[in-house]
Structure 1
Amino acid sequence: MRSFMTFHLYFNFHMLVYCIPLATVALSLSSKTDKLALLALQEKLTNGAPDSLPSWNESLHFCEWEGVTCGRRHMRVSVLHLENQTFGGTLGPSVGNLTFLRILQLKNVNLYGKIPSQIGRLKRLQVLNLNDNNFHGEIPMELTNCTAIKVIFLSSNQLSGRIPTWFDSMMQLTQLNLGANNLVGTIPSSLGNVSSLQNLSLAQNHLKGSIPYSLGMLSGLKLLILGSNNLSGEIPHSLYNLSNIQVFDLGSNKLFGSLPKNLNVVFPNLIAFLVGYNQKISGTFPSSLSNLTELQMLDISYNAFFGLIPLTLGQLNKLEWFNIGGNNFGIGGAHDLDFFSSLTNCTQLSMIYIFNNSFSGVLPNLIGNFSTHLRLLNMENNKIYGVIPERIGQLIGLTDLEIRNNFLEGIIPDSIGKLKNIVSLGFADNKFSGNIPIVIGNLTMLSELDLSRNKLEGSIPISIRNCTQLQKLSLSSNKLSGYIPNQTFGYLDGLIYLYLYNNSLTGPIPSEFGNLKHLSQLYLSLNKLSGEIPNDLASCIALTQLGLGGNFFHGTIPSFLGSSLRSLEILDLSRNNFSSTIPYELENLTYLHKLDLSFNNLYGEVPIEGVFSNVSAISLARNKNLCGGIPQLKLPTCSKVSTKKHKRSLKKKLIIIISVIGGVLISFIAFLIVYFLMRKPKMLLSSPSLQNGSLRVTYGDLHDATNGFSSSNLVGTGSSGSVYKGHLLHFDRVIAIKVLNLETHGAAKSFMAECKALGKMKHRNLVKIITCCSSADYKGEDFKAIVFEFMSNGSLENLLHNSEDESKNLSLNFTQRVDIALDVANALDYLHHNVEQVVVHCDVKPSNVLLDDTLVAHLGDFGIAKLIHGAMENSSKAQVNSSAIKGTIGYVPPEYGAGGQVSPHGDIYSYGILLLEMLTAKRPTDSMFYDNLNLHKFCKMKIPEEILKIVDSSLLMPFSEDQKFVVKNNIKECLVMFAKIGIACSEEFPTQRMIIKDVIMKLLEIKQKLTC
């Protein structure tokens, strides 16, 4: 017996000794399986891109790789969580080898392909989140093997097929989100058997049929989201048994029926009630909603509700969204809007929609007591009358105010100018009178302004030029008069739609309309405008519709309408005094489908190609001397004799004109020769101003303007020269004079480059050059200077890094920095895309960004700029080798140092460094950057978690330590977005850098978030 026990102990001891290394080996093998699975996943997820998931390498244990979490006991992968990246690959089958995986979250990482069936091998899987990708195909049936699964999120993909009936086998499933896909068929009634379900979202698919009655059996359901499908039939009464419901969304379907009168009893925990856009849900306003004190969102729009709104809504003190538009509310009485008084108690309201109803009565003055959180107020298409209350100016949070198509009258109150955050203002189709208030110019965030179809009079206010974000401006069908103001629309270079038709405007079309590079529709018809169509309009290459009919324009129809405006679809030049032939270039307009040249004095042969081949697309009536064209026009045949006579007549006229011009030129040249021979050689005239300017200055003028180039007028100095502040006689603006240091190598070339670069460019975010002066000083030495508009707030460099002049030591807040970044981005967009020759600045940095008195940024110093297309056309050395580019250390892109070609990508790199410098207030040459660390890598390492540690401390100055959570919760996201733009722009390889138009969109998104 003793020997048996001894043997037993001996056996157990040795087994214990030998089992330890065996277990270790087994664990090692299992870990290796996970590692190999991850590496295989990486290859598929990233399409083999070497820079993606850089931490997934041999230098780290795989449990420390980005997005990977391992269990402590087995060191097996339990969580794979990656989101908001741009992998662009697929989810490989090796995911099925991560058998200890509990959470698989690959959200918004740009994956495509099918969801692999191997996912069914993950028996421990509890959470599957593949939202916001591009997966297609059907939902794999193998998911039924994942018996422990609790959460399935597959929304915002391209999944197709029907909703599987087998979800009822997943007895632990609590959340199912299949929204925003391409799913078809009906909602399976078997979903009613998944008793554990708490959240169900099938919105934004192509589902049809009725809502299954069985869904009313899901007693634990809190979220039911079935909106934006094609569901039909009556809302099942069983759904009103779901007493735990918090979000009830059946909107944008084809449902009908009525709502229960005791909604507060049926859904006591309701937060959001959304049944809008069903067309057929009817009845009076459910007054029991007033007792739902947790309600935040109410949308019953576009249905068949009617009657008055109860006066008890003030109890909804958490209500944020109130949408009752598109019904038949109101009885046309004076008390229809009495419920507004109760809404003033809803202190969280941010959106009020009452549009498309039958509300009457006057706008009460208490409208000014609405929540300061109110961002949108839409009352259009009702029967509201009276005047706009002065107190509307108290709604300082408004971004959208729409009161179109009512019976409002009187003047537009000046208090409207207090709505500094307004983006869209719609006052069309009312009876407003008086002038357009000058305070409109205070609304600098305005994107859309519609005052059309009123009785407004007077002139267009010049102050509107301050609304530099405008994209749509409609002042049509009023009684406006006077000239279209000069130096106004040139500032609105973002305009896409401009409607000024049906007024009494006079004078010519301002040449500055040529600055409107994004203009798509321009209608000036039915006014009293005169003159010729300016050649500047040839720059509006985005124009699709041009309406100039019913005016007093004369002269020829310019050929650039066909040669430059190649996107034109509609062209109306009717009822004017044009007297010329029809330019054959109009035949080239591929998209032109409506052309009206009627009621003019046109003559000669009508073209037959393009739009002229379709008789229903053109109108040529009341032009007596036209001939030819397609037979359907029934015009007389063109006479060869008359054609020859016409040509001979033109030839004679040309000979006479050329003779006269030749005589004048000879006389002028003789005068110049005599004049210069008689002058002293040292007292040379300065060169003329730019082609588009009229100001000419001499050395003496600039000497007097700067008090003899006094040091008291010195603004700054640099390697290329000195800048002085001055006042020219008979010139009302302060000027800045850049006097070039001609001893510097290449200074003369720099002078010519800058004059050439800026001479033909006009943009609100470029430093405006007034003139150039190439002359001799009082000692007979060469003198070269460039005269600019003076920028009162100096350079961005001084503001970021503490100007020596403390009176100008402003502290830029984050919003101001975003605005400056936008200004510089718009300038680069113009240089790279909207001028005849692509201009590469080559020296984008804070000292070359100048700020005017309103802190609008202007990009300057084009001394080393390159006109790329010009170089390519005129030289065999078209590559514009960057070895000649000096630039500034820290801002020069890496490819220039390696002899790479100058390109807009280089400016983007410099701009990215500028953004990071604006964010951190650290120069790229700061002493902290050495060895392999630079500003780009420093910021990339610190975001997003440590963003508040690296930003310029002055950005956080308004916040005390107790308020830091405000920063963290409200602007941290925007700071991270700003940093990411700078990082994306300053990537090492040019093709990886962000394009400037995407930069602008992202910055506008940040600006919108900051104003919300």
Structure 2
Amino acid sequence: MIPTSFGNLSNLTIISLLNNQLSGAIPSSLGRLTNMVTLILDQNNLTGSIPPTIWNMSSLVLFSVETNELTGTVPPNALSKLSALEIFSLVENNFHGQIPSSLPNATGLIQFEIAINHFSGTIPPKLGGLQGLQFFVLAFNAFEAKNHHEWNFMHALTNCSELQALELNDNKLSGTFPSAASNLSTKLPYLSLAGNTISGHVPREIGNLVGLRSLQIDSNSLTGFLPSSFSMLRNLRRLTLDNNVFSGPIRPTFLGNCTQLNIFSLSMNSFSGIIPSTIGNMVSLLILDLSTNHFTGTIPSSLFNITTLSIQLGISNNHFEGPIPPEIGNLQNLVVFDAMFNRLTGEIPATLGKCQLLQTINLQNNSLAGNIPSLLSGLKGLEILNLSRNNFSGQIPNFLGDFTSLAHLDLSFNNFDGEVPKVGVFANATKIWVVGNSKLCGGFQDLHLPPCSLQILKRKHKIPVLAIVLSLVATTICILLLLMFFLDYYKRKSRETPSTMSTQGHKVVSYQQLVEATNGFSTLNLLGSGSYGSVYRANLHDDISGQENIVALKVLKLHTPGALKSFTSECEAMRNLRHRNLVKVITACSSIDFNGNDFKAIVLDFMPNGNLEEWLHPFTNHQPGARNLSLAQRMSILFDVANALEYLHCNGGAPIVHCDLKPSNVLLDSDMLAHVGDFGLSRILIEGCSYFQASTNSMGFRGTIGYAPPEYGAGNMVSTHGDIYSYGVLILEMVTARRPTDNMFDQGLNLRKYVKIAFESRMMDIVDPELAEELENGPATTDGPSNQRKVDALISLVKLGMLCSEEIPSSRISTKDIIRELHAIKVKEIKENK
């Protein structure tokens, strides 16, 4: 609790108690501090209402109580006596009632932020006197504006020439789009009216707001064409128009001029016509979503010149026709390609295999034909592949079974024939769909397909004469190449020098040794595969002791763009790092293979308990309960990961940013001790630099969608704050057992918002069922001391996850504070056990 005795410190001018575990009410005695300038009580557990005495503190310049559990209303005259007030924030509490009518009197206000509360009523119209106002944030409340009179506040805000952010999203604003919005400050960079029920047309003069960097008007009832003046908004980075009733074509001049857009979403509207070729000018796009409209014509090939497109390309539910342009191979960093429900024809271009970061391909309900190209075999990170309801034919390729991350494969209602493979994903009938292919046979019994005839089985295993001839020719060529290789061997032997990653006491291994250790890189030894490399279990022979040591071998896919940089980053990051919670690098191999190609690999400690991803989301063929994690184990893992981050950020020399913290990169040894691994995207911050540093590499989007912080998508800024965000998402995933990329998260909902919504009233409904069962069936009843202690610890963990995953980087806590919070939870457990 905040001591009431603070009110006796008459000379006190600043109180900052943010980010603690303070509970109870704000003491009214603070109102006696007549010299108080700054009062910050953010991110605690404070309850009750704001004492009336606070509103008498005339010297107060900054008042902020963000992220607490405060309730009550703000009196109408609350701001009348706060003549010096510049910053006022009640964000993320449970306040209700109306905006105080005295707001126009606070003429020195710079920030007025009351988002994420239960405020209602109308917005005061007389705001024109707040000439220094920069941030006016009312999002996620229940404010109303149904007619021109109730929208008068917008006209008043046109006098606020310093306005930097106007956030009115997710309220109950209705009526027509106010024309006064186009007269706001030309320096305004951020305007959000999303998530309301505003109707009518966007004002024709909206292009006056030439300073806009983000315009969000999605999820309303807006109609009509986009004004031609949109082409004047050349500074836009984010434009979301989705979920409205817009119609008409997209103007070529708009697409040609707004070249700085990163996020462009206009899905779920009624736009029509062709996509102009000038879309290729939007060379900074990360996300493009044109889905669920009435677009026609072919997909412009210029679209695939936007090599920055890395997060999503959505063109589904339209009337596109013709083939998928082969230029799609230019989008080598693309993660999601969604073109379902169109009229596309032709074959899947083999160049799609160049997009080796793809995780989702949706092509269902088109008229595509031909075989599945063998060049797609390189898409090892694929999680969703839907080719259903097309005209594909031929045999289902075996390489699809090698995709260890594939969780959804739908090949139904096509013309595939022959035997269904029995490897990998094909062994799990809950992950594949092959119905509607009348010529398929075999496969596992759960698929309920007819057995294959002897003729089909012979056809599958028969070696054609042509193949034998080609094999002989290939063998001859290989012999010639081998001779050339031996002639050139001594010239190239210098390339087989040991990597500086070799640790003292371990001999550098050769390519030949690694081939033998993995049985020729057999798939039986494959532990997993990612964008830049595959990991094998290897039995490495020690020449000194004569023993076989089990290690993990990460082999780089050097043909993948960015893989060599990934290898360099990992070696550079791990060169001098030594910590019990980091995966230990034993040695490295930088050599050439038997064909004369570059070969690079890293030898790591083997982790017999796999990775955290496998424990949080076990495959369905595991026995129920076989890989459960108790609350104590989860907390222990979080401790280990936090200690690893603390070492990387603060104690390992120059700060190192991991850049890709997620469950699959948290490995567990035989004692369930967690080790952070995979430093392929890491970045070493220059000594003396700020926490933020622009990425100068060309590896595309850093991190993994869902775990990467929002600022990486907006500008690819690398910082230690980014790792903290990923850690926060990791906490929420460990509590809920839901991935941040779960299909349920759409329309602006994400894992953090999902947890926040349920946190106060139905927390146990979203908890991982395994944890919920532990709490319900533990050694005491749910209201007993043991189980209540666990519930309290769980709630504390959730709060920590929320603090770490704040959208604004500077609002996230440091690794030192994370460890302190985890210790506080643990100490509380011990005390209550005594």
Confirm or deny a common fold (TM above 0.5): yes
Structure 1 residues 617, 195: CA separation in 2 closer, same or farther (over 3 Å shift)? farther
Which structure 2 residues correspond to residues 178-327 of structure 1 after superposition, within 5 A? 186-278=1-93, 280-327=94-141
1:995 to partner: Cα distance = 6.6
SS at match of 1:536: helix
Tell me the residue number matched to 2:317: 502
CA distance in 1, matches of 2:334, 2:176: 38
Tell me the residue number matched to 1:425: 239
CA distance in 2, matches of 1:266, 1:520: 54
Structure 1 residues 423, 327: CA separation in 2 closer, same or farther (over 3 Å shift)? same
1:246 to partner: Cα distance = 1.1
Structure 1 residues 268, 538: CA separation in 2 closer, same or farther (over 3 Å shift)? same
CA distance in 1, matches of 2:52, 2:361: 56
CA distance in 2, matches of 1:602, 1:474: 31
Q: Contact between 2:74 and 2:98, CA under 8 Å: does it hold in 1?
A: no
SS at match of 2:268: coil
Tell me the residue number matched to 1:390: 204
Which structure 2 residues correspond to residues 542-581 of structure 1 after superposition, within 5 A? 542-561=357-376, 563-581=377-395
Tell me the residue number matched to 1:472: 287
CA distance in 1, matches of 2:397, 2:9: 72
Letter aligned with residue 371 of structure 2: T
Which structure 2 residues correspond to residues 385-784 of structure 1 after superposition, within 5 A? 385-439=199-253, 440-561=255-376, 563-645=377-459, 651=464
CA distance in 2, matches of 1:878, 1:584: 26
Q: Contact between 1:337 and 1:363, CA under 8 Å: does it hold in 2?
A: no
* Superimposed CA distance per residue, residues 74-115 of structure 1 (whole angstroms, 9 cap, x where no aligned partner): xxxxxxxxxxxxxxxxxxxxxxxxxxxxxxxxxxxxxxxxxx
1:192 to partner: Cα distance = 4.2
1:998 to partner: Cα distance = 9.8
1:216 to partner: Cα distance = 3.4
* Superimposed CA distance per residue, residues 478-510 of structure 1 (whole angstroms, 9 cap, x where no aligned partner): 000111111332233343211100000011111
CA distance in 1, matches of 2:236, 2:76: 38
Letter aligned with residue 248 of structure 2: G
Structure 1 residues 645, 396: CA separation in 2 closer, same or farther (over 3 Å shift)? closer
* Superimposed CA distance per residue, residues 830-889 of structure 1 (whole angstroms, 9 cap, x where no aligned partner): x9972788899xxxxxxxxxxxxxxxxxxxxxxxxxxx999887669999xxxxxxxxxx
SS at match of 1:256: coil
Match for residue 561 of structure 2 among 825, 834, 839: 834
Q: Contact between 2:127 and 2:156, CA under 8 Å: does it hold in 1?
A: yes
CA distance in 2, matches of 1:202, 1:516: 48
CA distance in 1, matches of 2:469, 2:230: 60
Q: Contact between 2:143 and 2:171, CA under 8 Å: does it hold in 1?
A: yes
1:470 to partner: Cα distance = 0.4
1:1004 to partner: Cα distance = 5.3
1:228 to partner: Cα distance = 2.9
Q: Contact between 1:283 and 1:304, CA under 8 Å: does it hold in 2?
A: yes
Q: Contact between 1:336 and 1:360, CA under 8 Å: does it hold in 2?
A: no
CA distance in 2, matches of 1:453, 1:472: 15
Structure 1 residues 587, 356: CA separation in 2 closer, same or farther (over 3 Å shift)? same
1:332 to partner: Cα distance = 3.2
For the pair 1:996 / 2:723, whether they are aligned, the reply is no
SS at match of 1:263: coil
Structure 1 residues 998, 321: CA separation in 2 closer, same or farther (over 3 Å shift)? farther
Name structure 1 gaps, 5 residues minimum.
1-185, 659-830, 841-867, 880-980, 988-992, 1008-1012
Q: After the TM superposition, which of the residue ranges 465-474 and 629-638 deviates more from structure 2?
A: 629-638
1:304 to partner: Cα distance = 1.7
1:612 to partner: Cα distance = 2.6
1:283 to partner: Cα distance = 1.1
SS at match of 1:433: strand
SS at match of 1:338: helix
Letter aligned with residue 25 of structure 2: S
SS at match of 1:339: helix
Q: Contact between 1:392 and 1:416, CA under 8 Å: does it hold in 2?
A: yes
Superposition TM-score, scaled by structure 2 size: 0.57
Q: Contact between 1:559 and 1:586, CA under 8 Å: does it hold in 2?
A: no
Which structure 2 residues correspond to residues 860-871 of structure 1 after superposition, within 5 A? none
* Superimposed CA distance per residue, residues 13-51 of structure 1 (whole angstroms, 9 cap, x where no aligned partner): xxxxxxxxxxxxxxxxxxxxxxxxxxxxxxxxxxxxxxx
CA distance in 2, matches of 1:363, 1:593: 44
CA distance in 1, matches of 2:717, 2:413: 51
Q: Contact between 1:483 and 1:508, CA under 8 Å: does it hold in 2?
A: yes
Structure 1 residues 520, 230: CA separation in 2 closer, same or farther (over 3 Å shift)? farther
CA distance in 2, matches of 1:839, 1:306: 51
* Superimposed CA distance per residue, residues 341-396 of structure 1 (whole angstroms, 9 cap, x where no aligned partner): 11111111111111111212222333222112211110011121111112111101
The number of aligned residues is: 518
CA distance in 1, matches of 2:39, 2:281: 47
Letter aligned with residue 834 of structure 1: P
Structure 1 residues 876, 530: CA separation in 2 closer, same or farther (over 3 Å shift)? closer
1:540 to partner: Cα distance = 0.9
Structure 1 residues 613, 230: CA separation in 2 closer, same or farther (over 3 Å shift)? farther
CA distance in 2, matches of 1:389, 1:619: 48
Structure 1 residues 192, 513: CA separation in 2 closer, same or farther (over 3 Å shift)? farther
Tell me the residue number matched to 1:366: 180
1:201 to partner: Cα distance = 2.0
Letter aligned with residue 42 of structure 2: G
Which structure 2 residues correspond to residues 772-811 of structure 1 after superposition, within 5 A? none
Q: Contact between 1:378 and 1:402, CA under 8 Å: does it hold in 2?
A: yes
* Superimposed CA distance per residue, residues 619-678 of structure 1 (whole angstroms, 9 cap, x where no aligned partner): 222122222333322222333343114555x838979999xxxxxxxxxxxxxxxxxxxx
Tell me the residue number matched to 2:830: none
Using CA pairs under 8 Å that are at least 6 residues apart, name the structure with larger relative contact order, 1 or 2: 2
Tell me the residue number matched to 2:640: none
Q: After the TM superposition, which of the residue ranges 436-445 and 994-1003 deviates more from structure 2?
A: 994-1003
Q: Contact between 1:832 and 1:839, CA under 8 Å: does it hold in 2?
A: no
Q: Contact between 1:399 and 1:422, CA under 8 Å: does it hold in 2?
A: yes
Tell me the residue number matched to 1:329: 143
Which structure 2 residues correspond to residues 35-184 of structure 1 after superposition, within 5 A? none
* Superimposed CA distance per residue, residues 549-606 of structure 1 (whole angstroms, 9 cap, x where no aligned partner): 1111111123444x31111111111111111222221222222212211111122222
CA distance in 1, matches of 2:460, 2:180: 72
How well do the aligned residues superpose, as a CA RMSD in angstroms?
Answer: 3.9
Superposition TM-score, scaled by structure 1 size: 0.47
CA distance in 2, matches of 1:292, 1:205: 30
CA distance in 2, matches of 1:443, 1:995: 24
1:295 to partner: Cα distance = 0.5
SS at match of 1:337: helix
SS at match of 2:412: coil
Match for residue 152 of structure 2 among 338, 343, 346: 338
SS at match of 1:541: coil
* Superimposed CA distance per residue, residues 945-979 of structure 1 (whole angstroms, 9 cap, x where no aligned partner): xxxxxxxxxxxxxxxxxxxxxxxxxxxxxxxxxxx
| Percent of aligned positions that are identical | 39
CA distance in 2, matches of 1:1002, 1:381: 22
Q: Contact between 2:357 and 2:379, CA under 8 Å: does it hold in 1?
A: yes
Q: Contact between 1:243 and 1:269, CA under 8 Å: does it hold in 2?
A: yes
Letter aligned with residue 83 of structure 2: P
* Superimposed CA distance per residue, residues 923-963 of structure 1 (whole angstroms, 9 cap, x where no aligned partner): xxxxxxxxxxxxxxxxxxxxxxxxxxxxxxxxxxxxxxxxx
Name structure 2 gaps, 5 residues minimum.
472-557, 568-588, 601-682, 702-711, 719-834
